[in-house]
Structure 1
């Protein structure tokens, strides 16, 4: 029992190391480099074409929140978390987010990084309600590298803006 198994194992190891046609690794020949026709950006990413079931990109329906009521910058390992709470103009606001005015997070000439507090309101009319029911919070994570040259962080709403300084 052990002799046929040992012979098979030794034979397969010897065959794997040789360059003969009996070796399954050599059955399809050696690979060669063939140039690929594609875009200059990245040939590995296919071009986007609309498909039968693809959706069109929806328009951005977000609007600035009515008021920014609280701004907190919480230090964490490797950076900080920017947390802002705002008061929406009416109930039902959703998809709250802090969007930097500069997508590359470069501060302005006063070393201030500015964010817009955006929300999406429902299409139909909703009640105004109490301030507690219109309160909404959003957060944004910043790394130490992004915070290097920043002296202040400003979050803007439709009616006001809050700023936090170092």
Structure 2
């Protein structure tokens, strides 16, 4: 028993000194001349590496909602929440999102423009009643983001709704 334990302990110490990454073809630490400047790297963001389970970014399949029916802005202790309600063109709308058309949340001339976008299933779904096609979404803004905003405009395919600051 003592011999087996001694051999296992010695083997584990020897193998641990070899390094895990070396066993599986990983690179050891780069030479000191290959180091990137400290300000050019962020240790909290992992480096992009090709991998077996890495998928390419999916294409954006969202479309504008058919009609925006309600826009409400509620104050919170940390800022505000923009709540929007709309009616889809058919049943089955999912993954709603309020997103700026320009891709940035920076208001233009004090106006924050948002598109109300949804995804629909790839297969055909019935149109159904208005109540069955109704969807909601919200967006939280901080006080800093609200500082330059006087008006919020939410756009759908058929209409747009706006709300001004009082």
Q: When the two structures are superposed, what TM-score results if normalisation uses the length of structure 1?
A: 0.73
Query: Quick check: which has more Rg, 1 or 2?
Result: 1
Is structure 2 residue 65 aligned with structure 1 residue 65?
A: yes
- Do 1:37 and 1:43's aligned partners in 2 also have CA atoms closer than 8 Å? no
Partner of 1:37: 35
The Cα shift of 1:35 comes to 6.9
* Structure 1 SS opposite 2:153: strand
Distance 2:148 2:65 in 1: 28
Partner of 1:53: 53
Q: When the two structures are superposed, what TM-score results if normalisation uses the length of structure 2?
A: 0.73
Is structure 2 residue 140 aligned with structure 1 residue 120?
A: no
Distance 1:85 1:123 in 2: 23
Distance 1:104 1:157 in 2: 18
Greater than 6 Å deviation, 4+ residue runs: none
Distance 1:35 1:80 in 2: 50
The Cα shift of 1:41 comes to 3.4
Matches within 5 A, 1:79-94: 79-94=79-94
**Where does the alignment leave 5 or more consecutive residues of structure 2 unmatched?**
1-31
Structure with more of its chain in helix, by fraction: 2
Distance 1:43 1:152 in 2: 36
Partner of 2:23: none
* Structure 2 SS opposite 1:139: strand
How many residues are paired up?
Answer: 132
- Do 1:36 and 1:43's aligned partners in 2 also have CA atoms closer than 8 Å? no
